[in-house]
Amino acid sequence: QKEVEQDPGPLSVPEGAIVSLNCTYSNSAFQYFMWYRQYSRKGPELLMYTYSSGNKEDGRFTAQVDKSSKYISLFIRDSQPSDSATYLCAMSFGNEKLTFGTGTRLTIIP
Amino acid sequence: DAGVIQSPRHEVTEMGQEVTLRCKPISGHDYLFWYRQTMMRGLELLIYFNNNVPIDDSGMPEDRFSAKMPNASFSTLKIQPSEPRDSAVYFCASSLGVSGGTDTQYFGPGTRLTVL
């Protein structure tokens, strides 16, 4: 079993819809939870990070962490075609390397 | 800053040949990471350096892979001999530190390697 599991998709939704992306993990020692966005033929870029449990909001994006369920989510409100990308979750113990999910490919249909 | 620079962007080679991938990190970043991305396995950390010293190479698949960082502005990842299963996109990333999400890793554009 992988430490971090992520549904690869692909996921297609109409413009303006709310998107929900999720990851599960097995190691309860993870403390930092991140979402990276990767456009086609580009390197990943950090979108948001959360420390421990709770929610964090940044514009149209909300990251949620539920440590009791070992489950993290990224919500995108009012999705735009420019949000079409692969979204990777990543986790770390802090002061350590990142463990990535395999990524979910998202397409927003105009 | 120009960001993390990788070369070449594409590499096509034949099985058995030596391949060298190059990376220039962001100036002032103390950490440099080499990753490999495939559809099946996702993004995997191969090795990372702190102040030019290799810290963790547990992700290096086998002895055919080697990485060096002779100075703060240059690193190489070498595969010798290359095999078709090495075909992937190789990313270099750099960061100021490794404190979870507070030390953002900045990724280069990647090198797409195809081994025939």
Give pLDDT tens digits for B22-38.
999 999 999 999 999 99
Give pLDDT tens digits for B5-26.
999 999 999 999 999 999 999 9
Give pLDDT tens digits for B67-89.
999 999 999 999 999 999 999 99
The Cα-based distances of B98 to B30, B33, B103, B115 in angstroms read 10, 11, 6, 32
Whether the CB of B88 is below 8 Å from some CB of chain A: the reply is no
Whether the CB of B33 is below 8 Å from some CB of chain A: the reply is yes
List beta partners, residue B56: B48
Spell out which residues of chain B touch residue A88, defining contact as CB-CB under 8 Å.
42-43
A·B CB contacts under 8 A = 64
Whether the CB of A61 is below 8 Å from some CB of chain B: the reply is no
Give pLDDT tens digits for B45-71.
999 999 999 999 999 988 999 999 999
